[in-house]
Structures are given as C-alpha cells and as structure tokens.
Amino acid sequence: MNDDRQDLVRAVPGPLLGGGGELDPALRRAAFDRGGGRPGDVALPEPLGRFVDKVTTEAYKVVDGDIVELRAAGYREDAVLEAVLAAAIGAGLARLEIGLAALGR
C-alpha cells in the first residue's frame, strides 16, 4: 500500500467521529477506541458497550434482539449504525496498523 492510500484510510475516522450525527461524538469515539482495542476516555453505557464488544469480536452473532434492546434503551437506528461503523472502522484501522508494522511500514 502506498502512502497516499494509507493516508486515505487513516483519514476515514475523522468525519465519522467528528461530524454531526445521532450518537454523541464522545460515544462514537469510545466505540472506535473499543473496537480498536484501545482504552478510551469515555466508558460506553450498557447495553451499548456490550453491543460494541459483540460487533467487534463476534459480529456474526448480532441478532434482531440486540437492536431491540438498544432501541428500548433509547438509541435510534441511526445511532446504532454510527456505533457499528465506529467500532468496525476502529477495529479495521487497528488491524491495518498492526499489519503495516509487521511489514516495517
């Protein structure tokens, strides 16, 4: 991967984490950090924290009941999507950095 593509991939979190959205930006950042295996400054409230962990480690186990639980806790569908995107991008970027480090880049 050349530097331009690395820069492009590394730029993806900025708009997601800093832009407007349904989910509080601090919670989006926390989901991003947790997805990437980094300790965050903000704790994710339950059931959102449990959901982000599931998306990060066992996404194939996410079921309708998980979304029902989040909606019952007051999260709208856009907020759930933003949490999923933040966690997934955090996890993917962390893995990319690990891979590039292993290649000496």
* Interval 41-60: pLDDT, tens: 889 999 999 999 999 999 99
Give the integer Cα–Cα distance in Å for 39 and 3: 27
| Token pair for 64 | 């309708």
Q: Are 24 and 78 in contact (CB under 8 A)?
A: no
- Global pTM reads 0.87
* Interval 23-44: pLDDT, tens: 999 999 999 999 999 887 889 9
DSSP at 19: S
Spell out the domain ranges in the chain: 3-102
